[in-house]
């Protein structure tokens, strides 16, 4: 796990400067506290900051073979199998990323088809003066590019490009509207003018300061629902989970799991216990707030049933107000998802003991867990509705002008997901896996964990798991008003103490309650933020914060609070100035 960056400049441009590379390295140091490496040949430079997970001594980057050099952020889980399939290849390290370099030498731009893992990779071929940039099909690991003076630059995080002076702190207004209405930004273009994402599954070939070619690997299988019964599907799911978890446990450092008490992480813990005899360390977060949903007791019961060592983190209102500015600051590609709060605190605690944490992220998308999927399955006359048909600020008289095109990116994802033979449910899942998953959930996991030098692994987002489950018939995904039917049935057999068919509280963050309690003070500070004054009437913002106990009002207030803090750090370029109140008050 690392941070990577680099420059691919035109042949007539000045070479990259040491100062630029040093600024990139400093900006990515949190992603790789165990070392820094770089290579520069002519007008092409690669840089890596390393978090050592596999081959702790010999796996420093860049890696070299023939005329090629590689830097990578992530883990190639099938590296052992790839090595065995290349018996004539001379490997010089035990790194999981070295097989990718030799595959590139053999297969060129198609090399990523053989990789199973989470990755953002850059390969420089010195003779052809090309750089190949690749990202894993689910988009678990991030990668961004921007045109710059003399060519293009890339990095694991937009803030590195900004801090290095390779891109401007300029806001793209359509993306801001998406963020306010949906809590994330869709598609290739980010919220920063000129900075774009390498999309999940993309491989870009770059030379002479520009992108020459794009190709893409799909995350999901195509085709209509399969004709398969429940017993056969359960057997196939069991095999896929076992294989994925075994692969995701490959590490030369201790691992852990974030255990929510829900179905996804409980299923992972059950399978971890089966495939390893090692003690499992599980972390669970809960909120010290009256009436807040709290699944720490359920998580403790699951952990006890498998003999896991279990630790809980209680998150208080004071803790949130103290650390929120730095939590939001780590979300440079913004996702106004209040689950960033527990993710950040879990990572901070986990880093005291481990460098790796497994997470159940992606389970709702892969196994069809969201209520919105059930709504999509129904015809409109029975209450069916499109996903995210209403934005956060619809029917709330807060913004100066109503956003009109905020759903365009989501609409494009929906259109692309409508492959031949897919049911409405499968289209909804594919839409979320293309947009919501990489640009909100996985982005949150990456930034909050990497802020503390912790690698987050997601065994449910695996090609084998997707192949085993995505084309299941709808009744094996949703039945009797419940999503994740097949996974619930599997968990019922293998870890019944998890009570997979019991009604769950759900994991919610009591931000509305906390905002309302501090509404008068907090609302005035948010309303006075230049970012908020530009988009909303101050008196309406203050009124919204005073009424934040309502579910819609509370989430809208949270979104404005997030945006004010985010804008201050990443557009205005100002560091946190203490707790949330001091930071918002600083001018």
pLDDT tens-place string over residues 526-585: 999 999 999 999 999 999 999 998 889 999 999 999 999 999 999 999 999 999 999 999
Residue limits of CATH 3.60.20.10 in the chain: 2-216
- Percentage of the chain surpassing pLDDT 70? 98
pLDDT of residue 228: 97
What is the residue-averaged pLDDT of the chain?
95
DSSP character string of 394-458: TT-TTBSS---STTHHHHHHHHHH--TT--HHHHHHHHHHHTHIIIIIHHHHHHHHHTTT-EEE-
Q: Are 265 and 232 in contact (CB under 8 A)?
A: no
pLDDT of residue 383: 66
The least confident of 355-364, 373-382, 401-410 is 373-382
Residue 510: partners with Cβ closer than 8 Å, 6 or more residues away? 287, 289, 291, 292
Residue 507 has pLDDT above 60, yes or no: no
Residue limits of CATH 3.40.50.620 in the chain: 230-498
Residue 290 has pLDDT above 80, yes or no: no
The least confident of 101-110, 187-196, 507-516, 517-526 is 507-516
Collapsing DSSP to helix, strand or coil, 50 comes out as: strand
Mean pLDDT of 105-120: 97
pLDDT of residue 504: 66
- Phi, psi dihedral angles at 518 (to 5 degrees): -110, 20
pLDDT of residue 1: 59
Burial class (CB in 10 A: 0-12, 13-18, 19+), 573: exposed
Q: 479-497: per-residue pLDDT in tens?
A: 999 999 999 999 999 999 9
Q: Quick check: bond before 276 cis, omega within 30? A: no
DSSP letter assigned to residue 172: -
Residue 430 has pLDDT above 90, yes or no: yes
Q: Please count the helices (runs of H) and the strands (runs of E) in the chain.
A: 24, 17
Per CATH, domain 2-216 is 3.30.420.40: no
Mean pLDDT of 458-486: 97
Residue 164: partners with Cβ closer than 8 Å, 6 or more residues away? 5, 20, 23, 24, 27, 153, 155
pLDDT band at 288 (very low <50, low <70, confident <90, very high): confident
- Percentage of the chain surpassing pLDDT 90? 89
CATH topology classification for 230-498: Rossmann fold (3.40.50)
Residue 379: partners with Cβ closer than 8 Å, 6 or more residues away? none
Per-residue buried b or exposed e for 70-101, using 16+ beta carbons within 10 Å of the residue's own CB: bbbbbbbbbbeebbeeeeebeeebbbbbbbbb
CA torsion sign for 150, 151, 155, 160 is: positive
The tokens of 298 are what? 């359920």
User: Kind of pairing, strands 356-358 and 255-258?
Assistant: parallel
pLDDT of residue 209: 96
Helix (H) or strand (E) holding 363: helix 363-367
């Amino acid at each position: 796990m690392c941070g990577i960056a680099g420059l691919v400049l035109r042949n007539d441009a000045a070479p990259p400067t040491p100062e630029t590379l040093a600024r990139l390295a400093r900006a990515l140091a949190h992603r790789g506290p165990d070392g820094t490496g770089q290579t520069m040949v002519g007008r092409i430079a690669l840089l890596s900051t390393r978090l050592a997970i596999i081959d702790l001594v010999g796996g420093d980057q860049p890696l070299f073979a023939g005329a090629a050099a590689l830097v990578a952020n992530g883990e190639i889980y099938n590296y052992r199998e790839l090595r065995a399939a290349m018996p004539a290849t001379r490997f010089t390290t035990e790194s999981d990323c070295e097989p990718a370099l030799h595959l590139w030498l053999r297969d060129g731009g198609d090399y990523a088809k053989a990789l199973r893992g989470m990755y953002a990779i850059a390969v420089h071929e010195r003779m052809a003066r090309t750089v190949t940039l690749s990202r894993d099909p689910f988009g678990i690991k991030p990668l961004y590019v921007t045109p710059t003076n003399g060519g293009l630059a890339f990095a694991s995080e937009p803030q590195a490009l900004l801090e290095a002076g390779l891109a401007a702190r300029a806001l793209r207004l359509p993306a801001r509207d998406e963020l306010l209405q949906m809590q994330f930004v869709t598609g290739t273009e980010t919220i920063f003018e000129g900075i774009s994402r390498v999309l999940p599954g993309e491989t870009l070939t770059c030379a002479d300061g520009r992108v020459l070619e794009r190709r893409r690997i799909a995350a999901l299988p195509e085709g209509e629902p399969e004709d398969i019964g429940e017993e056969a599907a359960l057997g196939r799911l069991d095999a896929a989970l076992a294989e994925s978890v075994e692969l995701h446990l490959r590490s030369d450092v201790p691992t852990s799991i974030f255990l929510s008490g829900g179905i996804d992480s409980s299923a992972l813990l059950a399978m971890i216990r089966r495939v390893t005899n090692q003690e499992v360390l599980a972390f669970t977060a809960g909120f010290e707030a009256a009436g807040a949903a709290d699944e720490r007791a359920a998580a403790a019961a699951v952990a006890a049933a498998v003999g896991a060592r279990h630790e809980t983190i209680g998150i208080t209102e004071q803790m949130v107000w103290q650390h929120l500015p730095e939590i939001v600051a780590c979300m440079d590609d913004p996702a106004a998802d209040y689950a960033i709060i527990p993710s950040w605190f879990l990572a901070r605690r986990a880093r005291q003991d481990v460098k790796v944490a497994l997470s159940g992220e992606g389970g709702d998308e892969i196994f069809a867990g969201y209520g919105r999927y059930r709504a999509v399955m129904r015809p409109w006359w029975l209450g069916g509705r499109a996903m995210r048909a209403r934005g956060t600020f619809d029917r709330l008289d807060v913004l100066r002008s109503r956003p009109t095109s905020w759903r365009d990116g989501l609409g494009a994802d929906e259109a692309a997901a409508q492959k031949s033979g897919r049911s409405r449910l499968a289209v909804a899942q594919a839409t979320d896996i293309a947009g919501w998953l990489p640009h909100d959930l996985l982005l949150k996991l990456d930034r909050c964990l990497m802020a503390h030098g912790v690698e987050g692994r997601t065994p449910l987002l695996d090609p084998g798991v997707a192949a085993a489950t995505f084309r299941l018939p709808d009744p094996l995904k949703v039945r009797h008003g419940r999503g994740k039917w097949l996974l619930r049935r599997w968990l019922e057999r293998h870890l019944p103490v998890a009570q997979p068919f019991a009604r769950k509280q759900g994991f919610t963050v009591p931000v509305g309650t906390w905002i309302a309690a501090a509404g008068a003070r907090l609302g005035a500070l948010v309303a006075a933020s230049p970012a908020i004054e530009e988009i909303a009437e101050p008196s309406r913002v203050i009124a919204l914060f005073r009424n934040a106990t309502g579910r819609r009002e509370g989430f809208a207030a949270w979104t404005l609070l997030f945006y004010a803090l985010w804008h201050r750090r990443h557009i205005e370029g100002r560091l946190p100035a203490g707790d949330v109140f001091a930071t918002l008050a600083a001018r």
